A and B are shown apart, each in its own frame.
Chain A
Amino acid sequence: MAEVIRAEGLSKKYGELVAVDGVSFSVHEGEAFGYLGPNGAGKTTTIRMLVGLTRPTSGEALVNGHSILSDPVRAKESLGVVPESSNLYGELTAWENLVYMAQLYGLPKKEWASSAEELLREFGLAERKDSRFQGFSRGMKRRLTIAAALVHRPRLLFLDEPTTGLDVMSARGLRQVIRKLKENRVTIFLTTHLIQEADELCDRVAIIVKGKIRVIDTAENLRNQVRETEVLEIKPQFLPDSLPKELELLPGVEKATLIEDKIHLLGQSVHQAIPQIVNHLSEKKIQILSIKTLTPTLEDAFVKLTGVEAEVMRVDKPQKMGGVG
């Protein structure tokens, strides 16, 4: 399989702050590659370096064989980008926006109209072709932004948090669009802070925390890594803050995390620790409301592999105020 993206030791420093810390990976043709991490982990910075918007402090990236540093124009010709904010021109209509993109990407004049028409139809925006972008709903803006990234029919598409800020229906429709692109063998690089989304859409997932890649593997393998791990879910009557730390000290418990009003205990054979756990709780005079074993999810895998609480991942990024949103 041909290598479409190759990142080698990519780093970005802003003064003292290290946003991305020497990440290396490669993405193959036709693959959907997920870049999963909490907000502020360095996902957007990585994308910006790969598409030539931000100059890396060190390291190199090749996109379709072209260096993004020394041959940015050729590299940019071969890729499409859907930025995190839907940033088309509010004053132009859907149609004008797409034609403008076709012009910038150097499409021959006779293909401008056909390309714009085809995309508008594909993304269900044909009736709104003469409406201005600024009047569109958030979901429609997102769809047109993806369409705009596809005017030159790139074989590689970058999507930065594609479903963030969308309602459930729009997000679902969008995932459908991404799946269809995948069927057409378009290589996809997608960042997300939603574990579910990475699991659903991506063949392979890189987990990035604090600028460093912790692990790269298939979603399947990541889940398997924790398959031998048991998850014990306990719902106590009340939850003192110190409880997870105390339970982690018990033999057989590797990791304890809070999930809403429940506590998840992970371990190779955590069920053998049940007597001690029950003892500990009754010593503390905490009544147990329920206790059960669960099959591990990608979320559990994430927690185990990264040590980052899954709670952190559920917080949606606050939307930017003003602008085109």
Chain B
Amino acid sequence: MMGKEIKRIYYIARKDLKAYYLKPPLISWGLMLPIVFILAFYFRNPAGIEEVTPGLVGLTILFSATSMAAIVITFEKRTEALERLLLAPVSLGTILLGKTLGSALFGLLMGFVSMILVVLFFGLKISHPVSLVLALILSSVAFALMGILVSVGVREIFEAMTMSNVFRFPMVFLCGVFFPVTAMPLILQVIGFCLPLTYSVDALRQSLLSSGGLLPRYLDLLILAGFT
């Protein structure tokens, strides 16, 4: 019974990846943005590239995983195709896990590819590969779930985009992407520590550079797992 459900989770995710995610425009757009940003930062300050990479990779995962989850579910709600899943002999948990897995895999792929490109191009050394992979995976799942949460409350695709941005844009500033969380006023620090991206970026930074951590990197990973 368990095996049957896991298979179905996989089929649901595979269908989503095939139908929506792994389309050339989505992949190129998903990758284009972080690469352009990383290059822009590089040209401005070649020495500082190590500083911005973790944040930008974190953002890549955040934007790809949440928008995919939120948009795909809302889209299928509109076309009533989501009802096909509800009609099938599949439990609600299986459906949600399948959808999460699909978006998380997409986020993971985007984060992974942009990370690899940076590492190859700028010759960064990865100090903790295991926790780096763990950080990538956990971030993808946490952000995919965030997207799913958004999709529950909305009806239209534009609402899904707007709602996701309500969450995402503050995270760009509050989570240590471009400057450390500790450089902010206390009240904003408190908010920053409530957001999953903070831990994601912190874990990525330490795994990549083995420096400048807010928290021990395993604690970061644990908290990320807590968010999922």
- Does B90 touch A at the CB level, under 8 Å? yes
Known A-B contacts A100-B11, A106-B4, A323-B79; the reply to A76 vs B88 at CB < 8 A is yes
Q: Are B90 and A73 in contact (CB under 8 A)?
A: yes
Q: Are B84 and A323 in contact (CB under 8 A)?
A: no
Set B7, B15, B87, B91: member contacting A100, Cβ < 8 A: B15
Known A-B contacts A92-B15, A100-B11; the reply to A105 vs B89 at CB < 8 A is yes
Q: Are B80 and A83 in contact (CB under 8 A)?
A: yes
Q: Are B11 and A74 in contact (CB under 8 A)?
A: no
Q: How distant is B89 from chain A, measured CB to nearest CB, in Å?
A: 4
- Does B128 touch A at the CB level, under 8 Å? no
Residue among B19, B83, B88, B91 having the largest count of chain A Cβ atoms under 10 Å: B88
- Does B222 touch A at the CB level, under 8 Å? no
Interface residues of B in 124-150 (CB under 8 A from A): none
In the complex the two chains form, what is the Cα distance from A81 to B79 in whole Å? 17
- Does B32 touch A at the CB level, under 8 Å? no
Interface residues on A, range: 20 to 34
Set B4, B8, B80, B90: member contacting A323, Cβ < 8 A: B80
Q: Are B80 and A76 in contact (CB under 8 A)?
A: no
Set B18, B20, B80, B85: member contacting A104, Cβ < 8 A: B85
Set A77, A89, A90, A323: member contacting B89, Cβ < 8 A: A77
Interface residues of A in 295-324 (CB under 8 A from B): 322-324
Set A52, A90, A100: member contacting B79, Cβ < 8 A: A90
Known A-B contacts A51-B87, A100-B11; the reply to A85 vs B80 at CB < 8 A is yes
Q: Which residues of B contact A83 (CB under 8 A)?
A: 80, 83, 87
- Does A53 touch B at the CB level, under 8 Å? yes
Q: Which residues of A contact B83 (CB under 8 A)?
A: 53, 83, 87
Interface residues of B in 73-122 (CB under 8 A from A): 78-81, 83-91
Q: Are A88 and B84 in contact (CB under 8 A)?
A: yes
Known A-B contacts A87-B79, A103-B8; the reply to A92 vs B89 at CB < 8 A is no
Q: Are B19 and A81 in contact (CB under 8 A)?
A: no
Set A72, A92, A105, A324: member contacting B80, Cβ < 8 A: A324
Give the residue name and chain of the B residue nearest to A106 (CB).
B4
Q: Are A91 and B20 in contact (CB under 8 A)?
A: yes
Q: Are B90 and A104 in contact (CB under 8 A)?
A: yes
Q: Would you give the 0/1 interface string for A99-131, flagging 1 where the beta carbon is closer than 8 Å to chain B?
A: 011011110000000000000000000000000
Q: Are B11 and A104 in contact (CB under 8 A)?
A: yes
Q: Which residues of B contact A104 (CB under 8 A)?
A: 8, 11-12, 84-85, 88-90
Q: How distant is A116 from chain B, measured CB to nearest CB, in Å?
A: 14
In the complex the two chains form, what is the Cα distance from A73 to B91 in whole Å? 7
- Number of residues from B at the complex interface, CB < 8 A: 22
Q: Are B19 and A53 in contact (CB under 8 A)?
A: no
Q: Are A87 and B8 in contact (CB under 8 A)?
A: no
Set A53, A89, A106, A324: member contacting B86, Cβ < 8 A: A53
Majority-rule SS of B interface residues = helix
Q: Would you give the 0/1 interface string for A245-263, flagging 1 where the beta carbon is closer than 8 Å to chain B?
A: 0000000000000000000
Give the residue name and chain of the B residue nearest to A134 (CB).
B79
In the complex the two chains form, what is the Cα distance from A250 to B36 in whole Å? 86
Q: How distant is B73 from chain A, measured CB to nearest CB, in Å?
A: 13
Q: Are B84 and A87 in contact (CB under 8 A)?
A: yes
In the complex the two chains form, what is the Cα distance from A89 to B16 in whole Å? 10
Interface residues of A in 185-222 (CB under 8 A from B): none
Interface residues of A in 45-87 (CB under 8 A from B): 51-53, 72-74, 76-77, 81, 83, 85, 87
In the complex the two chains form, what is the Cα distance from A103 to B7 in whole Å? 9
Q: Which residues of B contact A105 (CB under 8 A)?
A: 88-89
Q: How distant is B17 from chain A, measured CB to nearest CB, in Å?
A: 11
Q: Which residues of A contact B19 (CB under 8 A)?
A: 89, 91-92
In the complex the two chains form, what is the Cα distance from A103 to B90 in whole Å? 11
Interface residues of A in 233-275 (CB under 8 A from B): none
Q: Which residues of B contact A323 (CB under 8 A)?
A: 78-80
In the complex the two chains form, what is the Cα distance from A87 to B80 in whole Å? 6
Q: How distant is B104 from chain A, measured CB to nearest CB, in Å?
A: 20
In the complex the two chains form, what is the Cα distance from A104 to B8 in whole Å? 6
Q: Which residues of A contact B88 (CB under 8 A)?
A: 76, 101, 104-105
Q: Which residues of B contact A88 (CB under 8 A)?
A: 81, 84
In the complex the two chains form, what is the Cα distance from A212 to B87 in whole Å? 25
Q: How distant is B81 from chain A, measured CB to nearest CB, in Å?
A: 5
19 A–B contact pairs at CB < 8 A?
A: A53-B86, A72-B89, A73-B90, A85-B80, A88-B81, A89-B15, A89-B19, A90-B79, A90-B81, A100-B11, A100-B15, A101-B88, A103-B8, A104-B12, A105-B88, A106-B4, A106-B8, A323-B78, A324-B80
**Which B residues form the contact surface with A (CB < 8 A)?**
4, 7-8, 11-12, 15, 18-20, 78-81, 83-91
Top-7 shortest CB links A-B: A76-B89, A87-B80, A77-B89, A104-B88, A103-B11, A91-B19, A73-B89
Task: With A104-B88, A324-B81 given, name 10 new contacts (CB 8 A).
Answer: A52-B87, A76-B88, A87-B79, A87-B83, A88-B81, A89-B84, A92-B18, A92-B19, A106-B4, A323-B79
